[in-house]
Amino acid sequence: MKRDSRFELLRIVAILFITFHHVLLFGADVCGYLSTYDPGTKGVAGVALNSVVVTGVSLFVMITGWFGVRRVWQPLLRLVIVCAVFGAAAYGLATYALPSLFEAASIPVKATAPDFLSSLKFTNWWFIVHYLMLLLIAPLLERALDKVTRRNMEHILLCLLVFNLLFGFAWGYVNASGYNVIQFVLLYLLARYLRLFTDAPLVRFVRRYAWMIIAVCAAAITMLFLADKGAWQPRRMPMVWNYNCPLVILEAVTIFSLFTKRKGEKEPKSQASSLKPQINFVARFVLGVYLLQSAPAIVPFRNALGSAAYEYAGYAGVVVAVVLIATGCWLVSWLILSLLNFVLRSPKSLFPRRDGTN
């Protein structure tokens, strides 16, 4: 399938959002997750920035929902294999390469067979676990979406919103934080609604006032965090940053809409630039960026770099840290996936032909 550079660019934006989110919370520690938040010393800039980049994961899921899932088992198996490969790479980097660069961080490093085998599990990444479950559910969703009317689609979304927001976000019975497949199903269907019903009043409103909605959502999330002093305590994620928070959902949908176009709408000439091949090429390897920087073996080094960069240069250091992390992980991802594709496509593939030969 031909790559759409708009959504390839969105993949890049999403992975940068996720990296910023991780560095702000767990590296620079400017949002009260590792230590008590103090607006006098840590300021509000980190909180405001995180109120935007917290949408990164949702954007990834919505891309899947926009295009839909036609095949299940091949993508599922491929993702499990890719996770094992990147888990092994992350373990190798954390054990043999990165310690020399982080001598002052005092990060314990050990190389044992059980730890290595544990690094190969796809369950090391919560997002992957629930994304795989989404893949398994997708055929049911696609069957429900076959020839769906706008009225029926809106009824489905209303039920899911009540389920997620009332029983989840508000009451905490199910999907209390949005870090699960139930939230992914909602995002999947919201993205499809944007694609199927571009002339719906709500879609037109979101597209027309997109930047204003994003600004209002980010400002509201920031103010609600500042008003909830209980969320300033360590290890307590404020509700306003939950993925099923109504403001976070609306903000993610609105950001996503900026990368879409209406049916029959021609792509502006400004987007038909010579950068499309480069955007598509970079986007091919962003999954590896997530897998590496979120791998348990790499997380302490990522956080140490973010902390050191913030202490040295403030938010400029955070930007530099994010660029370094994303670029370094992208280069490793490019190398790994290029080698993996070469092996799997070579005449002497790891997978024999049907006649049993190689």
Does the pLDDT of residue 355 top 70, yes or no?
A: no
Note the pLDDT of residue 230.
Answer: 83
Reported as a pLDDT band with limits 50, 70 and 90, residue 358 is: very low
Arithmetic mean of pLDDT, 269-288: 81
Q: What is the pLDDT of residues 68-111, one digit of tens each?
A: 998 999 999 999 999 999 999 999 998 888 877 666 555 666 77
Q: How many CB atoms lie within 10 A of CB 276?
A: 16
Alpha-carbon separation of residue 241 from 147, 183, 194, 248, 269 (angstroms): 35, 14, 23, 7, 37
Q: What is the pLDDT of residues 106-150, one digit of tens each?
A: 566 677 888 899 999 999 999 999 999 999 999 999 999 999 999
- Closest-CA residue to 289 (of 336, 334, 330): 330
Question: Which of 265 and 349 is assigned the larger pLDDT?
Answer: 265
Arithmetic mean of pLDDT, 288-292: 97
- Closest-CA residue to 318 (of 34, 20, 51, 44): 20
Q: What is the pLDDT of residues 144-182, one digit of tens each?
A: 999 999 999 999 999 999 999 999 999 988 888 899 999
Note the pLDDT of residue 229.
Answer: 87
Amino acid code (one letter) for 260: T
Mean pLDDT, the chain, whole residue set: 89
Note the pLDDT of residue 90.
Answer: 94
Produce one character per residue of 177-211: b if its CB has 16 or more CB atoms within 10 Å, e if not.
bbbbbbbbbbbbbbbbbbebbbeeeebeebbeebe
Residue with tokens 């629930």: 130
Reported as a pLDDT band with limits 50, 70 and 90, residue 255 is: very high
Kindly tell me the sign of the dihedral angle through the C-alpha atoms of 31, 33, 34, 40: positive
Q: What is the pLDDT of residues 193-248, one digit of tens each?
A: 999 999 999 999 999 999 999 999 999 999 999 998 888 888 777 899 999 999 99
Among the ranges given (207-221, 255-269, 276-290), the one the predictor scored with the smallest mean pLDDT: 255-269
- Are 178 and 245 in contact by the 8 Å Cβ rule? The answer is yes
Note the pLDDT of residue 351.
Answer: 38
Residue 356 DSSP class: S
Note the pLDDT of residue 238.
Answer: 86
